[in-house]
Amino acid sequence: MTTPTNAASAAGTPLPRAHDSEPELRGFRFASTPLPHAAGVYALTRRIADLIYPVLISESEDIAADAAAVEAREAAAMKVIDGQLWMARPQARQRMQIVRDLIGVYNPPLNVDHRTRHAAPELAALVPDRAENDPALARPTDLAADLSLSEADLDRLVRHFYARATKDELIGPVFGRAVADWEHHFETIRGFWSKTLLGTQRYTGNPFSAHISLDLRPEFFDRWLDLFRLTARDELPRAAADRAIAKVEHMSSCFQAGLFLPSPREPAQIPA
């Protein structure tokens, strides 16, 4: 019986299927048995639909011990992980080269170094992306240096967006049900944009978790994006508007992946 061919993620990155007997990442064959106390490369993974997504990729002289340390350090993120892959590699230099290559291709959300883009939206909806400000986007300091962008601009962006959104027939009722204290809500959202565009640390929340219980539908996100694009173009300097719009477009993809994709089934049990 042949091993099923690799499927592709939405970004076109080859991913193994959950029932592959020898899962492959970038042409490297991995075992899916429990991690051993041995030198090698490993990936902590999440099954979404029928595909296996790397959440973290690393290497160690003792991969079982290294993964245990990650689990202790990333207790919240570990709730997302439901599997692991590993392969033995005794040579440290070879392990590091393989890890760099795999991270650059798959961009797991718990890795920071060697990243080339955002994590897959399916994963970013479930676990915070440790490299959110990746090379594909301008750094917050790039916009902080633009003296035409201020906290007053962000306050105007937030208030004018919600003035439009709350009057909208489709998404207005959603905000009406969800927000009890509008000034507190404005402060929270201003903090989010201050962190995103100016590099401050005023926001520490998790945007996705706040939306889980709102009974949202895909068409709500289309309207949200339309209204936000219009408001950002009206209220922000062009560079800041471009960055803000790119951010909400990415958030929309992440939220919809997390809210509307089928729930993963139990991982396949592969004999040792």
Q: Domain of 195: which CATH number?
A: 1.10.490.10
Q: Which two tokens stand for residue 159?
A: 């208030």
> How confident is the model over 192-237, as pLDDT tens digits?
898 888 877 777 777 776 677 677 888 888 899 999 999 999 999 8
Asked if residue 145 and residue 52 are part of one domain, the reply reads no
Asked if residue 177 and residue 256 are part of one domain, the reply reads yes
Asked if residue 249 and residue 162 are part of one domain, the reply reads yes
Asked if residue 242 and residue 190 are part of one domain, the reply reads yes
Higher pLDDT, 118 or 205: 118
Alpha helices in 39-83 (DSSP H): 63-73
Q: Could you tell me what percent of the chain has a pLDDT over 70?
A: 82
Q: What pTM did the predictor assign? A: 0.54
> Does pLDDT of 106 surpass 70?
yes
Kindly state whether residue 238 falls inside one of the protein's structural domains. Answer: yes
Q: Which residues does 136 contact at the CB level (< 8 Å), separation at least 6?
A: 116, 117, 118
Mean pLDDT lowest among 6-10, 117-121, 181-185: 6-10
Q: Decide: 15 and 7 in contact? Cβ < 8 Å.
A: yes
Pick from 117, 150, 175: which residue ends a domain? 117
Asked if residue 154 and residue 47 are part of one domain, the reply reads no
Higher pLDDT, 254 or 102: 102
Among 267, 187, 252, smallest CA distance to 222 is for: 252
Among 10, 25, 2, 9, smallest CA distance to 85 is for: 25
Kindly state whether residue 98 falls inside one of the protein's structural domains. Answer: yes
Which CATH number is 98's domain given?
3.40.1440.10
**Rounded to an integer, what distance in angstroms lies between the CA atom of residue 261 and that of residue 16?**
18
Asked if residue 89 and residue 153 are part of one domain, the reply reads no
Q: How confident is the model at residue 120 (pLDDT cuts 50, 70, 90)?
A: confident
Q: What is the pLDDT of residue 239?
A: 79
Kindly state whether residue 86 falls inside one of the protein's structural domains. Answer: yes
Kindly state whether residue 78 falls inside one of the protein's structural domains. Answer: yes
Asked if residue 104 and residue 162 are part of one domain, the reply reads no
Q: Decide: 208 and 125 in contact? Cβ < 8 Å.
A: yes
Q: What is the pLDDT of residue 60?
A: 96
Domain count, the chain: 2
Kindly state whether residue 169 falls inside one of the protein's structural domains. Answer: yes
- Name residue 14's amino acid: P
Q: What distance lies between CA 52 and its chain's CA centroid?
A: 15
Q: How confident is the model at residue 12 (pLDDT cuts 50, 70, 90)?
A: low
Kindly state whether residue 265 falls inside one of the protein's structural domains. Answer: no
CB atoms within 10 A of CB 10: 10
Mean pLDDT over the full length of the chain: 81
Asked if residue 77 and residue 20 are part of one domain, the reply reads yes
Asked if residue 238 and residue 178 are part of one domain, the reply reads yes
Asked if residue 97 and residue 177 are part of one domain, the reply reads no
- CA torsion sign, 94 to 96 to 99 to 103? negative
Kindly state whether residue 224 falls inside one of the protein's structural domains. Answer: yes
Q: What is the pLDDT of residue 214?
A: 77
Among 254, 257, 266, smallest CA distance to 83 is for: 266
Q: Decide: 167 and 131 in contact? Cβ < 8 Å.
A: no
Q: Decide: 17 and 85 in contact? Cβ < 8 Å.
A: no
Asked if residue 110 and residue 164 are part of one domain, the reply reads no
Asked if residue 198 and residue 166 are part of one domain, the reply reads yes
> Does pLDDT of 139 surpass 80?
no
- Domain of residue 79: give its range: 7-117
> Does pLDDT of 118 surpass 70?
yes
Pairing of strands 40-48, 83-88: antiparallel
- CA torsion sign, 241 to 243 to 244 to 247? positive
Among 188, 202, 207, smallest CA distance to 248 is for: 207
Higher pLDDT, 11 or 50: 50
CB atoms within 10 A of CB 183: 7
